[in-house]
Amino acid sequence: MSMDATSRLTRLRARFSLLDANGDGQLQADDFDLLADRVLNAVKADPAKAHALREGCRAYWQGLAADTDRDGDRVVTFEEYAAAIPDAVHFDQYGSPYAHALAAVADPDDDGEVERADFVACMTAIGFAPPQVAQLFAELAGDNDRVATRDWAAAIRDYYVSASADIPGQLLAPRSA
């Protein structure tokens, strides 16, 4: 296998295991409910934002399943996922509400910026490793010690759709199980 193919598989594995919130090795609707639960347990969100996040997670799952669950058993295996990896258009359609709802939950005062504590709480709840969370925050925040919600939503999108390795989103790697 070529280096490119190997690093692509590594990236896909990292994304897949991050999405597999209950850790059973497959993706199903429960994973995305659990993802929302974990974030909402970590960060205090008002009911409207909590609702948007739950709906965003659900829509992401439904879009993902529609594109990847080839045998229609409502479970997405890694093989199904890797064979039909969602592209940028797909993410913009199905994943974007999730990314924006997440950024909104992490911005309780609605000033368009995410404080470090909220950023770390959200990202850790999703399952990212603390060193990567700290590194990504530093990259996105620069000298400000806060991250614009739109930059964060863009970084999340990059993580799920990018094929390149030199963007901030690529710093995101799941904690080792």
Nearer to Ca ion (CB atom), residue 119 or residue 128: 119
Residues in contact with Ca ion, total (CB under 5 A)? 12
Out of 109, 143, 166, 176, the residue judged to bind Ca ion by CB under 5 A? 109
Packing angle of the helix pair 47-68, 29-42 (nearest 10 deg): 150
Which residues are within 8 A (CB) of 138 and not within 5 positions of it... i.e. 6 or more apart? Answer: none
Report residue 110: phi and psi, to 5°. Answer: 55, 35
Nearer to Ca ion (CB atom), residue 117 or residue 167: 117
Nearer to Ca ion (CB atom), residue 75 or residue 82: 75
What the block records as the tokens of 52 is 């948007």
Out of 17, 36, 107, 147, the residue judged to bind Ca ion by CB under 5 A? 107
Provide the phi-psi class of 175: left if phi over 0, else alpha when psi is between -120 and 50, else beta.
beta
Nearer to Ca ion (CB atom), residue 92 or residue 111: 111
Binding residues among 62-81 for Ca ion as defined by CB under 5 A: 69, 71, 73, 75
Q: Does 111 bind Ca ion (CB under 5 A)?
A: yes
Query: Taking the complex as a whole, how short is the minimal distance between the CB of residue 2 and Ca ion, in angstroms?
Result: 28
* Rounded Cα distance, 74 and 113, in Å: 37
Report residue 176: phi and psi, to 5°. Answer: -70, 140
What the block records as the tokens of 74 is 């409502």
Site of interaction with Ca ion (CB under 5 A): 20, 22, 24, 31, 69, 71, 73, 75, 107, 109, 111, 113
